[in-house]
Each structure stands twice: as C-alpha cells, then as structure tokens.
Chain A
Amino acid sequence: MRFILSFVLVLSAVALLTSCGAGGDNQGSEYAPNMYHSVAYEPYSQIVDEDAGRWLTSIDYPDGHAEFFNSNKFNPFRMNLREAPENTVSRNKNGWLPYRIPKDSLDYASRTLKNPLDSTAAVVADGKVLYQMYCNHCHGPKGEGNGKVSEKYNGVPNYNSDALKNITEGHIFHVITYGKNLMWAHGSQVSPEDRWKIARYVKTLQK
C-alpha cells in the first residue's frame, strides 16, 4: 500500500512540475512573479486590470490597486505613453527643428529644400542600408517599382520614368515625410536625417 501511495505521489509531483513550462497561450510558471511584472512603467507590458496579482500584494498602494497593475488611469486607453502636447517642439541631436512645410506644398519643397548632409560615399552607403530597410519591398532594389509588395500594392512608380527622373532631393524628402498619391506618410518611421540619406541614395539610382 505504501508503495502505491509513494508511486502516486511521485507521479503527481512530476505532472505538476512538467506543467511549469510555457507553450501556446500558457506563459509558464514564474519564479518570483514581482520581477516579471514591473512596478515601473515598461513598454508593451501594460496591465490594466487593477486587481491583477492581488494574491501577492504586500504593499498598501494609495489608490488600492494590486501588485501587477501598472497603467496610468488618467491617459487615454490607460496608456503609459502620451503624444507630445500640442505646440511643443522637439529637436533631434543635430538641433534640427521639425519639418514644417505643409503637405500640399510639394512644389515649394522641391524648389527650395537643400540636403544638409555632405555628399561623401559614407552618406550614400548609409542611404543604401536605409533604403533596403524602408523602401526596397515596394520600390525594388533598383527603384524600378518591382519590389515584392508591389505585386499587391498598386501604384509603385519607376524612379527612372520621365515623370520622376529629374526630381530634387527636397522632393524625395517631402514625399517620404508626407507620402504622395498612393504612398502614405513615412515621417513617423524614418528620422529627418535618415530621410536625407535615403534621398541622396535614390538620386544615385536615377542615373
């Protein structure tokens, strides 16, 4: 009898422990859960349930929430991050102010904007790397408008078509920032400096 009892005990312990591993929707068991659920705001680990982790809450938080809650009640969607307040101005490490020519002034931008970067090979090489990151999948490696995504996404132009052959770097900068025709704005993804590098590289594809 004792033999069978110990047998069952061992088996259940094994079953319990093997269920600790993660897989599918199961995150697995955590050792010291407080360490996985950050008290400080962390990106992409937002917990909006105020009662999450009540079972190990040992601190009396002023507003009565439990251990794992880490959202900001006062923000939209309880997000921790907010958009910058209106009428504030950010500067990048070069001290550049945000690009302020409005979307509909493409002509003005292409006539007046000058690329502030020098024209060394390093800038062009950087531009190529950035081009492959942000542009390649639609515009194609040589700017012929034959990237993989262009099979599904209509309206990708050829850089060497008559309409585009002679555009300025300012034109390219403006179009990356705001988009044009069927292309949407990429200003949120590509920093102004990177946009100028890409513009420089695109001009080398147009020769």
Chain B
Amino acid sequence: MTKNFISSACKFLPIVFVFALVNLTSHAQEISKEASAIAAGESLFNANCKTCHRVHQKLIGPALANVYERAPSIDWIKSFIKNSAGVIAGGDEYANKLYNEFNKTQMTSFTTLKDEDIMNVLAYIQSETEKGPAVAAAPAPGSGPTSEEGGQQSAYLNVILIGMVLILVLLLVILAFLVSALKRFLDQKELSAEDKEVIHSPITIGTISRSSGFIFIVVFLVGALGFKAVINGLYSVGVQQGYAPKQPIAFSHKIHAGQYEIDCKYCHTGVMKGKSATIPSVNICMNCHNQIRQGTLTGESEIAKIVSAWDNKKPIEWVRIHNLPDLAYFNHSQHVNVGGLACQTCHGPIETMDVVRQHSLLTMGWCIDCHRKTDVNTKGNAYYDNLVELHNTASKTPMKVEDMGGLECAKCHY
C-alpha cells in the first residue's frame, strides 16, 4: 500500500514540477501593459510584421489577435518567430497545422529580434486586441472649405447686387419727384390746350413700347447679344473644350490622383515614351483592385466591372475625350519627357475631377500661344549650347520654343 503510494507519488512528482515550472515561466513572461513597451512594440510590428500580419485581419499570415492565448506557449511564439522553418521541420503539430493552412507559405525567420523585442510586440498585440477591431473609417473629407469659400463669394455678389438695385430705385424715386415738380411748375404757367394735353398724357406700357427710344434700345441689345452669340457659336465649331463624356466605369481621377496621390505616369505609361499617353490596360487597374473592392464613391458596383473584365479577359472600351484632327500631329513624349511639362499644363486640374473633361481648347491658336510664351529649358544639355549663344547675340529675351522652330508648319502638319 505504502509502496504503491510512493510509486504513484513518484509518477506524479515530475508533472507537479512541470506545472510549477510552467506557472513560474508564465509569471516571468507576463505581457507588459506599460505604454513604453506598447510603443516599442508598435514600431517593431510596423517595421517587421505588418507586411504579412494584421491584428484583426487575416492577410498572408493569420490575424494576431489573442495569439498569446491561442499559441501553445509564449516560448513557442519566440522560437517560431526566430526560426519558423526549424519549428516546422521539428514536427511541431501546431506549427505544421498553420503551415498547411496558409498554403505552405513559410514565415521569414527574424533572427535579430531579441526576447524582449518579441515581448514588446506581444504587448502591442495585446493592447490592440483589447481595443477590438477598428470601427469603419470616418466619412471621407468632403469639399466643405471650398464650397464655403464659394458661398462667401456669392454672398458678396448678393450684397453688391442689392446695393445696385437700391441705388436704381432711389434714382427712380428722384426722377418721379422731378416729373411731378415739373408738372406743377408747368401747370402754373399759361399754356395752350395742346401743350397741356401733352403734359397730362398718361404713361402706359403702350406708349413706352411705341416710343422710338425704347425700340432702338431693344433692337440694339438683341442685335449686339445675338451677334456675340453667333460669333461665339461659330468659334465653338470643331472645338471640344468642356467635353466630359460618361465613361463605361465611373472612374474618378479625384480619388486616384488626388486623394491617393498615384502618379499619372503609373497608369498612363506611354506618356514618356510615345505619341499617345496610353489608357491603362485592365491588368494595371488590377494591380490594386485585386484587393481593393470597395470604392470610396460608388461602393462595389463600379469596381466589380473592372474585376469582371479581368475575369472575362475583355478590354474596357473607354470613351476618347481629347482628339486632334488628322491634319495635326502631336506627341506626348516630346512635351512631357523632352519639354518637361506637367500633365496639368494642358489637361488642367485633373486631380480634382470626378469626371474628366477637356480642359483646353486644343486649337492651333492655343498651341502657338504656348510655343511663343514658353522658355526652353536647355540647362545641362550641351546640344543647345551653340544655339543659345547664337540666340543671345540677336535677342535679349530668353530662348522660346518659337525661336527653335516651334512655329514651323511642317513640325505638326505633314
């Protein structure tokens, strides 16, 4: 009996020991709640882990919320971070389950992270876990300030208008006083019956509209306004300034180029190399939209179109906006790459447009005007040295595009 007891005690003892040890180590490895540890952990997390892990979201690797309770032990976490390949190869059950669940993607081994670094990262994860997943982002900043500005401007305009109307009414009142005073003055005089009739003849709409002064004013106004409208109309033939067609996908440059500051040339890849700036092919859209499926303005509906185009291998038929007639040649790379122009010089504030419209006239006069005004940047290009020297002997103004053949007919028409 006693022998039995001792042997069973001997069997239990190591287990008790192990329990005590685990208790001890886990006490020693209490995850810190100090702000300094959390801050240190956050910067480490952002530098090393963020690529593949989020706290509340599964990415390339698992979401890390509660990992300190989920994983076999804190020590296991440490050894896995330092040498994940070793742990997996060592046949650890939990590690192999993870490895298979995430398509056998091996986590990078972070050999340079020290134990206290890992504890700091865990402190950060713990604080984020307790905060819970972030609530949906605040609504996108609207165009509040600009519309306010506009409102102020129109308020000024209103004040000016009201002032002018008041002055006009005052003038009318003064004129009415003058008329009645003159009438009274004339009534006191001896006048023929005919003259009296003229003085007291009533002023009606009929008499006004039949008066020669009124007819002249109306004919003149209609003629002048009509003439201006006709001239404007004639000048707008063949000019497509303001054309802003509806595109097959409600793509917003304001979001992409404005809010997210994506360089124009990321999508319009041909602009430095050739005649056309090129419209991005679907794979370029998919570089981001393989993941981003929720649009800022239109939700999922518009982005779904690009995804279905990608899945069906069907190109998007965007509507062309800027179109020069065949008689004129234009090359983007000559202007953007060689001339160093910004896109906005011709295309206007594209980064503020939800729907792209043609900003410039694209008439010959508009081209020539810019070629006359624009200085040529010849800095650091020895090719131009002699030309600049020659130009400076004949002229005091800096060399413009027109001085080096920018107005030659055959540069654009051939």
Using a CB–CB cutoff of 8 Å, the interface residues on chain A facing chain B are 7, 10-11, 13-14, 16-32, 35-36, 38-40, 43-46, 77, 79, 132-134, 136-137, 145, 147-149, 152-158, 160-163, 181-182, 184-186, 188-189
Contacts and interface: CB of A to CB of B under 8 A. Distances in A.
For chain B, which range describes its interface: under 10, 10 to 19, 20 to 34, or 35 or more residues?
A: 35 or more
B108 A162 contact: yes
A37 B269 CA distance: 25
Contact of A152 (B263, B286, B292): B292
B230 A14 contact: yes
| Closest 3 pairs between A and B when the two form their complex, measured CB to CB | A17-B233, A157-B51, A21-B236
Contacts, number: 171
A83 to B, nearest CB: 11
Given A38-B326, A181-B60, 13 more contacts: A7-B222, A16-B233, A24-B245, A36-B326, A43-B276, A147-B261, A153-B291, A153-B292, A160-B47, A162-B112, A181-B52, A184-B287, A186-B287
B326 A133 contact: no
Say whether chain B's binding surface is mostly helix, strand, loop, or mixed.
loop
B81 to A, nearest CB: 10
B120 interface: no
14 contacts: A17-B234, A24-B244, A27-B245, A43-B276, A43-B278, A79-B315, A133-B266, A136-B263, A149-B262, A153-B292, A161-B47, A162-B108, A163-B110, A181-B60
B325 interface: yes
A163 B269 CA distance: 31
Contact of A163 (B51, B223, B281, B318): B51
B60 A35 contact: no
Contact of B60 (A19, A148, A155): A155
Interface string B39-69: 0000000111011101001011000000000
A26 B239 CA distance: 12
B112 to A, nearest CB: 5
Nearest to A190: B269
